[in-house]
Amino acid sequence: MDSDPERHLGRVEKSSDEIDTAQEPLVNGTFTSTSEHYSVSAAVLPFLFPALGGLLYGYDIGATSCATISIESATLSGISWYDLSSVEIGLITSGSLYGALIGSVLAFNIADFLGRRRELMLAALLYFVGAIITALAPDLAIMIIGRFVFGIGIGLAMHAAPMYIAETSPSPIRGRLISLKEFFIVLGMVAGYGIGSLLVETVAGWRYMYGASTPLAIIMAIGMWWLPSSPRWMLLRAIQGKGNLEELKETAVSCLCRLRGPAIGDSAAEQVNEILDELSFVGEEKEASLAEMFRGKCMKALVIGAGLVLFQQITGQPSVLYYAGSILQSAGFSAASDATRVSILLGLLKLIMTGVAVLVVDKVGRRPLLLTGVSGIVISLVLLGSYYIFLDDVPVIAVVGLLLYVGCYQVSFGPIGWLMISEVFPLRLRGRGLSIAVLVNFGANALVTFAFSPLKALLGAGILFYVFGVIAVVSLLFIYFIVPETKGLTLEEIEAKCL
Average pLDDT over residues 252-256: 88
> How many domains does the structure of the chain reveal?
1
**pLDDT surpasses 50 at 222:** yes
Position 379 scores a pLDDT of 97
Looking at residue 412, the DSSP 8-state letter turns out to be T
Tell me, yes or no, whether 357 lies in a domain.
Answer: yes
Is residue 367 over pLDDT 90? yes
> What value does the mean pLDDT take over residues 351-362?
92
pLDDT by residue (tens digit) across 80-122?
998 888 788 888 888 898 999 999 988 887 777 788 899 999 9
In-domain check, residue 26: no
Q: With pLDDT > 70 as the criterion, what percentage of the chain qualifies?
A: 86
Task: Give residue-wise pLDDT tens across range 440-456.
Answer: 998 888 888 778 778 88
The domain that contains 325 carries what CATH number?
A: 1.20.1250.20
Q: Residue 409: give the domain boundaries.
A: 41-228+289-498
Could you tell me if 175 and 418 are in contact, meaning their C-beta atoms sit under 8 angstroms apart? no
Q: Can you give the pLDDT at residue 139?
A: 94
Across the range 19-28, mean pLDDT stands at 40
Rounded Cα distance, 243 and 334, in Å: 63
Whether the per-residue pLDDT at 254 is higher than 60: the answer is yes
The secondary structure of 66-134 as a DSSP string is HHHHHHT-TTTS-SS-----HHHHHHHHHHHHHHHHHHHHHHHHHHHHH-HHHHHHHHHHHHHHHHHHH
Which pLDDT score is estimated for 325?
64
CB burial readout 196-223, b (16+ within 10 A) else e = bbebbeeeebbbbbbebbbebbeebbeb
Crossing angle of helices 268-281 and 231-239, in 10° steps, is 50
Q: Which residue has the higher pLDDT, 57 or 446?
A: 57
Nearest CA among 188, 149, 180, 189 for reference residue 162: 180
Residue 143 lies in a domain: yes
Chain mean pLDDT for the chain: 83
475 or 39, higher pLDDT: 475
What is the mean pLDDT of the segment spanning 485-493?
A: 86
**For residue 328, is it within any domain?**
yes
Task: Give a yes or no: residue 11 inside a domain.
Answer: no
d(CA 239, CA 237) in angstroms, rounded, equals 6
The pLDDT value given to residue 142: 96
H or E element in which residue 436 lies? helix 427-459
With cut-offs at 50, 70 and 90, classify the pLDDT of residue 282. low
Q: Is residue 2 part of a domain?
A: no
In a domain, 279, yes or no: no
What's this model's pTM, rounded to 2 decimal places?
0.83
pLDDT band at 329 (very low <50, low <70, confident <90, very high): low
Q: Which of 2-6, 7-11, 384-388, 477-481 has the highest mean pLDDT?
A: 477-481
What mean pLDDT comes out for the span 352-380? Answer: 94
Tell me how far apart the alpha carbons of residues 314 and 329 are, in angstroms, rounded to a whole number.
26
Distances (CA, A) of 463 to 385, 390, 442: 6, 11, 25
